[in-house]
Amino acid sequence: MSASRMKNLILLILTLCALGLLCIVVPNRLAQTHEQRQMLQELKTLYESYGLSVLLDELPRSPVLYSVELSEDGAQTAAQALLGAKAAPAGESGFESTYESELGTLHITRTGGFSAVMTGGSRVRSSEKAAEKLLRAMDFQYQTLTREQTETGAVQIRTSQTLLGVPVLGSQLALSYTDDCLTAVEGTFYTGGSSITRVSEQEAISAARAGRSRRPPPPLTRWRSCWPGVTRSAGSEAR
- Asked whether the predicted pLDDT for residue 19 surpasses 90, the reply is no
Residue 155 lies in a domain: yes
- pLDDT averaged over every residue in the chain: 76
The span from the CA of 224 to the CA of 197, in Å, is 11
| Whole-number Å distance between alpha carbons of 101 and 19 | 71
My answer on whether 116 and 83 are in the same domain is: yes
Q: What is the pLDDT of residues 199-212, one digit of tens each?
A: 544 444 444 444 44
Do residues 203 and 168 share a domain? no
| pLDDT tens figures, 85-117 | 888 888 777 678 899 999 999 999 887 889 999
The 3-state secondary structure of 42-83 reads HHHHHHHHCCCCCCHHHCCCCCCEEEEEECCHHHHHHHHHHH
Please tell me the least confidently modeled range out of 59-63, 130-134, 141-145, 155-159: 59-63
Residue 210 lies in a domain: yes
Residue 145 lies in a domain: yes
Mean pLDDT of 190-219: 51
Examine the pLDDT at 22 and tell me if it is beyond 90.
no
Task: Give the domain range for residue 147.
Answer: 72-191
Say what percent of the chain tops pLDDT 90.
Answer: 26
pLDDT band at 234 (very low <50, low <70, confident <90, very high): very low
pLDDT at 59: 64
Are 99 and 157 in a shared domain?
A: yes
Number of domains in the chain: 2
**CA end-to-end distance (rounded Å), the chain:** 77
Task: Establish how many alpha carbons lie within 13 A of residue 8's alpha carbon, considering only the half-sphere containing its beta carbon.
Answer: 5
- Does 231 score more than 60 pLDDT? no
Residues in Cβ contact with 109 at an 8 Å cutoff, skipping those fewer than 6 apart? 95, 96, 97
pLDDT at 176: 94
Please state at what angle helix 73-83 crosses helix 127-137, rounded to 10 degrees.
Answer: 150
- Give yes or no: residues 122 and 224 share one domain: no
Query: Which of 55-64, 115-124, 171-180, 207-216 has the lowest average pLDDT?
Result: 207-216
pLDDT recorded at residue 135: 94
Residue 237 located in a structural domain: no
pLDDT of res. 48 = 78
* Rounded Cα–Cα distance for residues 181 and 154 (Å): 10
Note whether residue 48 is domain-resident.
yes
As a whole number of angstroms, the distance between CA 97 and CA 139 comes to 18
Regarding whether 17 and 94 lie in a shared domain, the answer is: no
Whether 94 and 146 share a structural domain:
yes
More confident residue, 171 or 180: 180
Claim to verify: residue 164 and residue 221 sit in the same structural domain: no
CB burial class (10 A; 0-12, 13-18, 19+) of residue 71? middle
Asked whether residue 82 falls in the same domain as residue 42, the answer is no
Distances in Å between the Cα of 150 and the Cα atoms of 44, 69, 157, 213 are: 41, 36, 11, 54
To 10 degrees, the CA torsion angle through 222, 226, 231, 232?
-70
Which of 230, 166, 157, 159 lies closest to 193, judged by CA? 166
Domain assignment of residue 93, yes or no: yes
Q: In sequence order, which residues have a C-beta less than 8 Å from that of residue 18 and are 6 or more positions away?
A: none
